[in-house]
Amino acid sequence: MHGAVRKDGALADAMRYATQGGKGMRGFLVMESARLHGIDDAISVWPAAAIEAIHAYSLVHDDLPCMDDDDLRRGLPTIHRKWDEATAVLVGDALQALAFELLTHDAVGDARVALVSSLAQAAGQVGMVHGQALDIAAETAATPLELDDIITLQEGKTGALICWSAEAGALLAGADPTPLHDYATALGLAFQIADDILDVEGDVQAVGKAVGKDAGAGKATFVSMLGLQAAKTRAAALVDDACDALAPYGQAADTLRDAARFVIQRDR
């Protein structure tokens, strides 16, 4: 690992625990979009690790009692259940800081500033945290969310990090990120619809977190707004849109197309 990292102690143990067991989809998107632009894995692994660190932090904080209050994540007790709330807050804080340090590694070269500044936006008050704030506000809102509100909320909460991940390869190469942006916008929405479907149809063992929470909380989701079948149809159409957006790369982008199809077929 780059820079000064303490490898011993409860905080280090909890940080390691928090970063294990995920699908690694965001890191995969970084490395695949980089390969598409001829960028070596030895370079793209740094932003890939950075986005997985930010994502892990967001899950640790999202699971806290003051947020979603979850006991299970990736099939294991959440950090505040296995350790305590203070440790979970600190793990999230430290993982977020670590992510930006990883982006400044020498291997990342001239793209460092663009990657740091775009990740700050994607993760922060105009991106993921904005989506989370909208989600929390919706819990006590006087009027229920409309479909467009849910799309806006998810574009922040889930979409912003997915977009950053897919665009990172183009940023590393100094290339136009537009096709990857369009791919990731459709993919992010399909991912969230699939997540809502898993909350209804998923098995807690496979999903590795609580299911049925949205309906239990009377939460407006793509499934509650569209119905199960229409949500599946919408997700499949979005995956087609995502694949089409990769046309400028031809067959070289087939792995990214496979990833888009996986997003709506997954069971976790």
Nearer to ligand GRG, 173 or 214 (CB): 214
- 259 counts as binding ligand GRG under rule CB under 6 A: no
* Residue 202: strand, helix, or coil: coil
For residue 72, the 8-state DSSP code is E
Spatial CA neighbour of 268 closest among 133, 67, 3, 75: 75
- Give least dist CB 207 to ligand GRG, A: 9
Near ligand GRG by CB under 6 A, which window of 79-87, 128-136, 170-178, 245-253? 128-136
User: In this chain, which residue has its C-beta nearest to ligand GRG?
Assistant: 22
For residue 143, the 8-state DSSP code is S
Orientation of helix 160-173 relative to helix 112-123, angle to 10°: 170
Tokens 């500033």 belong to: 113
Nearer to ligand GRG, 22 or 77 (CB): 22
d(CA 239, CA 67): 30
- Give least dist CB 150 to ligand GRG, A: 13
- 157 counts as binding ligand GRG under rule CB under 6 A: yes
Is residue 73 within a helix (H) or strand (E), and if so which, with residue range? strand 72-73
Residues touching ligand GRG: how many (CB under 6 A)?
15
- 96 counts as binding ligand GRG under rule CB under 6 A: no
- 58 counts as binding ligand GRG under rule CB under 6 A: yes
Strands 76-77 and 72-73: antiparallel
Residues in contact with ligand GRG by the rule CB under 6 A:
22-23, 25, 55, 58-59, 61-62, 74, 128-129, 132, 157-158, 195
